[in-house]
Structure 1
Amino acid sequence: MDSFGPEAIELMRRAGMPMDAWQEDSITAMLAVKDDGRWACFEYCEWVSRQNGKGCLLEARALTGLLLIGERLIMWSAHEYKTAMESFRRVIWLVGRLGTKVNDNLYDVDGILLKVINTNGEESIERLDTGARIKFVARSKGSGRGFSGDVNLVDETFAYTFVQQSALMPTMSARPNPQIVYTSSPPLTGDTGEVMYLLRHRGDPTAPRGAEDGRWTQDPGLGYRDWGLGGNLDFLAGIDLDDLALWAAANPSLGIRISVEHVRRERRSMPPEDFARERLGIWPRRTTGPDGWAVIGETFWTAAEESASQIDGRPAFGVYVPPDRSYAAIGIAGARVGGGRHIEVAGDGEVLDYRPGTAWVVPRLKELERNGPSVVVIDDKALAEEAEAAGLVVHRANVADVVTGCQLLYDGIAGEDPAGRDIKHIGQAELTDAVRGATKRDIGGSWAWARRDLAVDVTPLAAVSLALFGHSTPRIHRPEEGDPWFFFG
């Protein structure tokens, strides 16, 4: 089996950044090719503690792809914008060491002109002869959608979600020889890092496994290396956190770019669990299922889906606006034709009432007034005042109302009493994404919906929960007018 690893190693040496032995091994495995010229590893994972030099692997992979292999689009993503931009600046610096700076935005590397694009949101390095480029992005639910990348470099995989993976993977399907590379330290908590846990179960035969994980089998397209120690953060009693040999085993760059003296400082100043995770690479015990659904399991949500479900009678509307007011959503709940209860995000055909900002909400509620809602529940003070000024009758939700709505929805989908699981939904993707990525936020011993990370938006879920509270609380209903109304969207 051949590899472009030696070329990548030489490229980094030329840039004045010679790779450590473990990095050379990694880049050689990552860039190995089969007899047919395709990558031996469609996916490659490198899990190693912070500051050991995993960024150098991504730099070597990106520059080799751009300068030597001729890959058309290399997507480099990070969890946060500032991290993506730091990587962008670092690669520009390496380009400068490999070649000559022509002007502020142009470099010459062995006759190859590279243009640096600094436009906000378009940060990239482009070859002027072929148009090939490395593009740097901060991840979101839709980042990467629409790009057809030859290579996708996923930095900070601990904050990489199934929603982002689902947006990314199809972009690679039309490429002749794609590759995705993941680098990270361990997940921060057991209910995050969902993609990392899945990759771990695919790549590591010694990883803790539940019955739902099945037996381990070798994945021929996955390259996998985890430098972290075994065990989990809940059971550290049998691990000597002061053992220098364990420090060296988990940190391949100890004594090279990480000093023993500094690790001793970390040990003194950090709680044991943090030191074990950040420096020894010990994973937290996974607290979500393998599918990443932390509160309502996928099985329950799927069982509650019925595309033909409809509301029988008057609907209740719920309006939710997150604290950053970036989006808003109008949820609907009511009695269901045939029995039970029905929830959905309001909308007109395929256009849902889940949109950026809040200026659209009150005009849309005025339109929906024609449906004779039993109640309109809003938990945002400013929006409630705006709706009342427009002549709408509103119930202003308090914290107890929000909590009640969340628990009503949970019990109606996945509660312990099977007889109480009487809620149906119509499978709207936006609502499903919110349920998949939702976690619990503690509120005085009870809970409300929260999002797992910045790429998840629970706004649609919170809106239908408020609507469900409204439907289930007759004391706040407006007097009924006319005949029952059937909601068709």
Structure 2
Amino acid sequence: MSEVAAVLEWPEAEAVRSDFDRIRTVAARMGIDYDTWQQGLLWILFSRGSDGRYCCGQGGLTVSSCRQIGKTFTLGTAFFVKCMLSPGLKVIWTAHHTRTSDETFTDMCSLAQMPAVARHIDHIRRANGQQEIVFANNSRIMFGARENGFGRGLHGADVEVFDESQILTDRALSNMIPVMNTAPDPLAVFLGNPPKPGDPSDVFAAKRRQALDGGARGMAYVELAAPRDCDSDDREAWAVANPSYPSRTPESAIERMRQLLPEDDFRREALGIWDETHVSHAIDPDAWARAVAQGKPEGGVPSLGIDMPPSRDFVNVGCCWRAGDTAHIQLVQRIPATRAGEAVDWVAERWPRLASVVIDAQSPAMSLVPDLTERHVRVTVTGVRDIARACGRVTDMLAAGTLTHRPDTDQPQLAVAAAGATRRPVGQAGAWAWNRGTTDTDISPLVACTLAVHGAWNSKRNPARRQKVRVGR
């Protein structure tokens, strides 16, 4: 494995044996022949220390690679055989997308129907949401898609495989990991490709950072990738990234991706190369921590931003007090959407003293515009470019130390949003905005404050200025 992996971290010194030796023998009888790299990967996964427990039982095995390499076949067949050999073993296999989960289930069913295997199978359940293969020895493999909520409410598992881990949120993980709490010898596996910008990949990226930082104790991390500076058309780079090329993965499959995918996508999907600029957080946690202040600046002029999450659960009102080149942001209202009229009243009451009230054109909060207009509040509606510029301004000001916020303990919803927000690309010029791609983290408090920042820097309204009234003679 060390000869083909770009990154390999695992507690090698602790390994004294591996369950894979027996798995390989049984798999060979079924006609399954593993390549050298697959043998190395599975030996690591099933390796045990002198205490008899899995060497990577604490943090699991993480595999980052390009597509069409055979990860599902490698791990799927190994756990299939493991179930045959281990009475009562319970494996949960999840993917983010239903289609991926269904394809894996279909492939496993093909194994179950092999003549040499059929006697080991008790039955196969094919109902949507309840797909599973039950073995005669009471072992089972259950399949489901996380996008459909699969995993919640399950009781007890020995193994959990998280396919498509580049789309795995902390919330989804926290729903499922406790399922293994009572397992005597649990094992977790994370399979994925380098994430795209905007993917909710905090879990996957954190595993990679831990491995690169040398903190891989109790876990294993394998990254199969071409060199970062390689030529995308270099066939040798294709072979480095994909050890199954060209014997199992034909050249035509990679050529098809080369023709159809943009350059950045090809390097992620076909060469396994992580984006050099990829970060798990849009806001630098250190910069956010340094920006704590107890209150707004003296003489600041307030602007408000209003946003709602896609679930439409809450109305969030963010405020930005601008004083010269500095500003202070704060989540000043968070009201259940069932009482949205209270938010309208609250904003309308303060409108005479505000520089602006801003709502994004794509926000569910646009439903409040008619009521605000009826109350004589002039709402500024932003477009895609506006929100991108505002997001960039927020991060630039945080880095420069010219933007502050109240302590996280005073407004935990804003703190959670700032910690969980990622970036999504906007247009083709490198602009970006806060990512709303997952409902697991509610970023609407941050969006509301960001809209307020936009209003503070773009509104020409001065609430302190007295209007002159001309009286005719």
TM-score by length of 2: 0.71
1:184 aligns with 2:192: yes
Distance 1:117 1:191 in 2: 30
| Number of matched pairs | 433
Letter in 1 for 2:241: A
Amino acid paired to 1:150: D
Contact 2:66/2:270, CA 8 A, preserved across alignment: yes
User: Which of residues 223, 226, 241 in structure 2 aligns to 1:250?
Assistant: 241
The answer to whether the aligner puts 1:35 opposite 2:68 as a matched pair is: no
Specify the alignment match of 1:397 in structure 2: 381
User: Is the contact between residue 333 and residue 471 of structure 1 (CA under 8 Å) also seen in structure 2?
Assistant: no
- In 1, Cα distance between the equivalents of 2:288 and 2:143? 37
Match of 1:331 in 2: 317
Identity between Structure 1 and Structure 2 (%): 23
8 Å CA contact 1:71, 1:150 repeated in 2: no
Task: Give 3-state SS (helix, strand or coil) of 1:360's partner.
Answer: helix
Once residues 321 and 88 of structure 2 are traced to their aligned partners in structure 1, the CA distance between those partners, rounded to angstroms, is: 55
Structure 1 residue 3 displacement after superposition: 2.7
Distance 2:437 2:408 in 1: 25
Tell me, yes or no, if structure 1 residue 110 matches structure 2 residue 120. yes
| CA gap 1:392/1:408 in 2 versus in 1, 3 angstroms | farther
Q: CA 1:326/1:64 → structure 2, altered by over 3 Å: closer, same or farther? A: farther
Structure 1 gap segments, 5+ residues each: 101-107, 205-212, 354-358, 480-489
Q: Determine the C-alpha separation between the residues in 2 that align with 1:143 and 1:391.
A: 45
Shift in CA distance, 271/303, structure 1 to aligned 2, threshold 3 Å:
closer
Q: Choose the corresponding residue for 1:44, options 50, 58, 61.
A: 61
Structure 1, 63-72 or 18-27: larger mean CA deviation: 63-72
Matched, 1:158 2:166: yes
**1:462-484 deviations in whole A, cap 9, x for unaligned?**
122224455775828699xxxxx
Tell me the residue number matched to 1:434: 417
CA 1:281 to 1:111, structure 2 compared with 1: closer, same or farther past 3 Å?
closer
Q: What's the offset of the Cα at 1:410? A: 3.5
Question: Do 1:48 and 1:281's aligned partners in 2 also have CA atoms closer than 8 Å?
Answer: yes
Letter in 2 for 1:424: R
- Maintained 8 Å contact 1:186/1:282: yes
Say if 1:315 and 1:332, in contact at 8 Å, map to a contact too. no
Amino acid in the other structure paired with 1:422: T
Residue identity opposite 2:248 in structure 1: R
* Contact kept in structure 1, 2:101 and 2:143, CA below 8 Å: no
CA contact 2:144–2:150 (8 Å) conserved in 1: no
Cα distance in 2, alignment partners of residues 258 and 145 from structure 1:
36
State the partner residue of 1:450.
434
Q: In structure 1, the residue corresponding to 2:316 is in which secondary structure?
A: strand
Alpha-carbon distance in 2 for matches of 1:203, 1:161: 19
* In structure 1, C-alpha distance between the alignment counterparts of 2:90 and 2:171, rounded to whole Å: 22
Structure 1 321/44 Cα, relative in aligned 2: closer, same or farther at 3 Å?
Answer: same
Q: Is 2:364 the counterpart of 1:379? A: no
TM-fit CA distance, 1:44: 1.4
Is it true that 1:365 corresponds to 2:348 in the alignment? no
Question: How does 1:305-344 map onto structure 2 within 5 Å?
Answer: 305=292, 317-321=304-308, 329-333=315-319, 341-344=328-331
Partners in 2 of 1:268 and 1:392 — Cα distance? 55
Q: Which amino acid aligns with 1:38?
A: R
Distance 1:202 1:96, change over 3 A: same
Report the 3-state secondary structure (helix = DSSP H, G, I; strand = E; otherwise coil) of the residue aligned with 2:234.
coil
Structure 1 335/167 Cα, relative in aligned 2: closer, same or farther at 3 Å?
A: farther
Alignment of 1:95-106 (within 5 A): 95-97=112-114
Query: In structure 2, what residue type is equivalent to 1:431?
Result: L
Contact 1:4 1:31 in 2 (8 A): yes
Amino acid at match of 2:95: A
TM-superposition CA deviations, 1:360-412 (whole Å, max 9, x none): 36345257569756565433485134534875845142337645654564455
Please say if 1:4 is aligned against 2:4.
no
SS of 1:74's equivalent in the other structure is strand
Give the CA deviation at 1:166: 5.9
Deviations 1:408-442 (A, max 9, x none): 64455x142x3x23322535555344333332644
Q: Using a 3 Å threshold, how does the CA distance of structure 1 residues 261 and 361 change in structure 2: closer, same or farther?
A: same
Report the Cα distance in structure 2 between the residues aligned to 1:272 and 1:385, rounded to whole angstroms: 42
> Secondary structure of 1:97's partner?
coil
CA distance in 1, matches of 2:94, 2:211: 22
Distance 1:93 1:387, change over 3 A: farther
1:158 CA displacement? 3.4
In structure 2, give the amino acid aligned to 1:138: R
Q: In the alignment, is the contact (CA less than 8 A) between 1:84 and 1:136 conserved in 2?
A: yes
Q: 1:173 to 1:317 in 2, by over 3 A?
A: farther
Which of residues 421, 428, 447 in structure 2 aligns to 1:462? 447
Look up the match of 1:225. 222
Partner SS state of residue 22, structure 1: helix
**Contact 1:47/1:226 (CA < 8 Å) preserved in 2?**
yes
C-alpha separation between the residues in 1 aligned to 2:198 and 2:170? 15
Contact 2:70 2:244 in 1 (8 A): yes
